[in-house]
Amino acid sequence: MAVGVRYIVDDVATAVGFYTQHLGFDVEMGPLPGFAILVRGDLRLLLNQPGAGGAGHAGERDGRSPAPGGWSRFQLVTDDLDAEVERLRGAGATFRGVMAEGAGGRQILVEDPSGNPVELFEPASG
């Protein structure tokens, strides 16, 4: 079963470029005006622009509207986090905070062009 994650983005075409060029996603559908579906393995990433209609447009009862950013994220596992960070920095990517290390491994958050975080994670060896 595939896992689907919906991210609200400022510009779908820009987000598609980031995820396909830098994080290894392929386009499944789109980009359409305000919407695209990307895939990487079993992960489906649904990208919605605010106000473009559909589920990505549904506001909250308290009047809040969908917007990019936040701290929820999905995780991409890598065998060499240092090399991945260096590659992305060279491509101009923005990172949140610093590298964190714990018993399970190391991680850092890279932001897509709309400020949505993606966790890059290298499991601890051994």
Burial of 125 (0-12, 13-18, 19+ CB in 10 A): exposed
Which residue's entry shows tokens 């994220």? 73
* Integer-rounded Cα radius of gyration of the chain: 15
Q: pLDDT by residue (tens digit) across 1-57? A: 567 899 999 999 999 999 999 999 999 998 888 999 999 999 999 999 887 755 444
For residues 15 and 11, give the distance between their C-alpha atoms in angstroms, rounded to a whole number. Answer: 6
Strands 43-48, 74-77: pairing is: unpaired
Q: Which is higher by pLDDT, 54 or 116?
A: 116
Q: pTM for this structure?
A: 0.81
Q: Are 55 and 48 in contact (CB under 8 A)?
A: yes
Predicted pLDDT of residue 56: 47
8 A C-beta contact, residue 115 and residue 17:
no
- pLDDT tens-digit map of 55-103: 444 455 566 777 888 888 999 999 999 999 999 999 999 999 899 988 8
Please report the pLDDT score of residue 80 as a whole number. 97
What is the per-residue pLDDT for 62? Answer: 67
Residue 87: CB partners within 8 Å, gap ≥ 6? Answer: none
pLDDT score, position 46: 92
> Which pLDDT score, from 0 to 100, does residue 55 have?
46
